[in-house]
Amino acid sequence: MPIFNDKTAMDDHAITGSHYGFSARRIDDLGASEYTLALIVVDASGSVYSYRTQIESAIREVVRACRVSPRADNMMLRLVIFDHVVTEIHGFKPLMECHENDYKGCLNVGGATALYDATYNGVRSAAQYGAALSQQDFDTNAAVFVITDGEDNASKVSRIMVGEALRDAVVNESIESATSVLIGVNTGSDGLNSYLRTFKTEAGFSQYVSINKATAKELAKLGSFVSQSISAQSQALGTGGPSKSLRF
């Protein structure tokens, strides 16, 4: 359930194959002619509890940094969290309408890990909204970030379906380009790093980033990395291809 959408300015959309849809700003209300659709999908399962405030700080840093980007007026952001269910914190809306303090307390953690469901929903939402924008003569590209500290154990969709969604987003002519980053947190134990590397390869993410320990310093770097990656993808809009992957 969205927690800070302005429902008078948003349209709701269904996603084939997902029990959860998405919301997005009404296209007739948009002011720019091109947009980068930034999507952040964040694990909020029970294991995140001890560092949930640091993850929230990283999200706030993404918003703060992107708002001062020269491309801020050409960015939209959607935030999704997941445990055993997928929850949209807010749909795609102009970055300048996102305020960093809104994200304090946005991670209500608990439950299992529907990683595939959340990734599938997120990728399909960016592709679908991008196609709708393109039909109205907007130029669009997308930047997708999936942050998790665990293996999937609750999804209804399969890893194959996630891969199909990512491939469709990349080859969809309605979106100029899409970059996708899988980010593993606390990957130094229990084989998680190997699991996520395999997921990255089989699903077709553009990049995998491994954060060995969920320290305050590393999670602060995460916010900076995501904001710089969004800005780079926005700057690449109009070139015909995605931005180059940045080092974490």
DSSP 73-142: GGEEEEEEEESSSEEEEEEEEEGGG--GGGGTT-----S---HHHHHHHHHHHHHHHHHHHHHTT-EEEE
Asked whether residue 222 is assigned to any structural domain, the reply reads: yes
| pTM (2 d.p.) | 0.96
- The CA R_g of the chain, rounded to the nearest whole Å, is 16
**15 in any annotated domain:** no
Contact 133, 27 (CB under 8 A): yes
Report strand pairing: 139-148 vs 178-185.
parallel
- For each of the chain's 248 residues, which pLDDT tens digit applies? 445 567 678 999 999 888 899 999 999 999 999 999 999 999 999 999 999 999 999 999 999 999 999 999 999 999 999 999 999 999 999 999 999 999 999 999 999 999 999 999 999 999 999 999 999 999 999 999 999 999 999 999 999 999 999 999 888 777 999 999 999 999 986 789 999 999 999 999 999 999 999 999 999 999 999 999 999 999 999 999 999 999 99
Domain of residue 116: give its range: 49-136+153-181+198-229
Report the domain count for the chain: 1
- Residues 135, 174: contact at Cβ < 8 Å? yes
Classify residue 93: in a domain, yes or no. Answer: yes
Q: Is 19 domain-assigned?
A: no
- Residue written as token pair 């801020």: 72
In a domain, 14, yes or no: no
Domain-embedded: residue 146: no
Evaluate whether residue 129 is within a structural domain.
Answer: yes
3-state secondary structure of 182: strand
How confident is the model at residue 169, as a pLDDT? 86
> Would you say residue 208 lies in a domain?
yes
Q: Which of 239, 198, 207, 201 is nearest to 226 (CA)?
A: 207
